[in-house]
Amino acid sequence: MKTRLHPSEMFKVFSVGTRIKIIEFLKSGKARGAKSIAEHLGITPAAVSQHLKVLRQAGLVERTRSGFYVPYSINADMMEKCRTLLNEVCQCGCRGTCRFGVRKNANLVFLKEYKKELKRELERVSEKIKKLEKN
């Protein structure tokens, strides 16, 4: 598996809406098989398998085999590398150096949506902290 996506490769992988939907579905944390993903998205398992192959080759998803069942899950490390890469080319021109990603010329609509996004991210981080503290 690749350890670092070239920016053009990453954007190519994410340029297909179905792949984004697969990533979103797998973000629940539960590993899912191609059939389950296909049912959720309303497409054929064969189509899902092709998208999973691309995502797996890019290192964004991982698979484990359990008999005939092959569940897929997010590769969190690679997703973090993608996030870092996207920060390098963010709109504000900071190349990933700004802490919170607020553009200097941000309008009110953008800032309100960004605030909601930050709240959701804080909730996800808080949940991860709780899980880690239990272990």
Q: Are 56 and 62 in contact (CB under 8 A)?
A: yes
On whether residue 82 sits in a domain, the answer given is no
pLDDT of residue 2: 45
On whether residue 97 sits in a domain, the answer given is no
For residue 124, the enclosing domain spans 102-134
Which of 44, 42, 60 has the alpha carbon at shortest distance from 52? Answer: 60
CB neighbour class for 55 (10 Å; exposed up to 12, middle 13-18, buried from 19):
buried
Q: Which pLDDT tens digit goes with each residue over 26-43?
A: 988 889 999 999 999 999
Q: Cα angle at 21 between 127 and 46, to 5 degrees?
A: 125
Helices 34-41 and 17-26 cross at an angle (nearest 10°) of 120
CATH code for position 30: 1.10.10.10
On whether residue 123 sits in a domain, the answer given is yes
On whether residue 30 sits in a domain, the answer given is yes
CA–CA distance, 73 with 25 (Å, rounded to integer): 10
Q: Which pLDDT tens digit goes with each residue over 104-134?
A: 666 788 788 878 888 888 998 898 899 889 8
Name the domain count of the chain.
2
On whether residue 27 sits in a domain, the answer given is yes
Q: Are 74 and 30 in contact (CB under 8 A)?
A: no
On whether residue 90 sits in a domain, the answer given is no
On whether residue 15 sits in a domain, the answer given is yes
On whether residue 22 sits in a domain, the answer given is yes
Q: List Cα–Cα distances, 9 to 6, 13, 49, 78, in angstroms.
A: 5, 6, 19, 13
Q: Which pLDDT tens digit goes with each residue over 42-88?
A: 999 999 999 999 999 888 999 988 788 899 999 988 888 887 777 76
